[in-house]
Homo-oligomer: A and B are copies of this chain.
C-alpha cells in the first residue's frame, strides 16, 4: 500500500478517522479533544492520527504539551479526481448529456449494422 491514493482511501475507510476529520473541519483540536467523543483509549486515537497524518490528511503543530491537529483536506485531491473519473457512469446530468448527444448524431459511424438485440 505504498502509493498515496491507497493511503488516502485506506485512511478514509474507518469511521473513527472520518469522524476525526469531520471534527477538524470545524477547527483545529488537541488529541484529547478529538478523543473525547470516542469510547477508545487515547493511544488508539493517537494511532488513528498517525494514519491520517501519513495520508497527508492532517498536520500536527506543537504548543507546549499539546499537539493541535489541523485538517489538510488537500490530501483528498487525488482521491477526489479518481472518483470524479467515474461520475459520468452514475450522474444523471451526464446520462442526459449522453442522451442529448445521441439525439444530435444518430449515426456517425460508417459500418457495423449494430443489430444485436436482447
Contacts and interface: CB of A to CB of B under 8 A. Distances in A.
Main secondary structure of the interface of A (DSSP, over half): helix
Contacts of A12: 9, 79, 82-83
A86 B10 contact: no
Interface residues of A, number: 30
Q: In the A-B complex, list the 7 residue pairs whose CB atoms are closest, starting with the nearest.
A: A73-B89, A9-B13, A10-B13, A74-B90, A73-B86, A9-B12, A73-B90
Interface string A76-97: 1101101111110110000000
Nearest to A10: B13
Contact of A15 (B6, B8, B18, B85): B6
Contacts of A14: 1, 6
Contacts of A20: none
A1 B10 CA distance: 12
B90 A18 contact: no
A8 B10 CA distance: 10
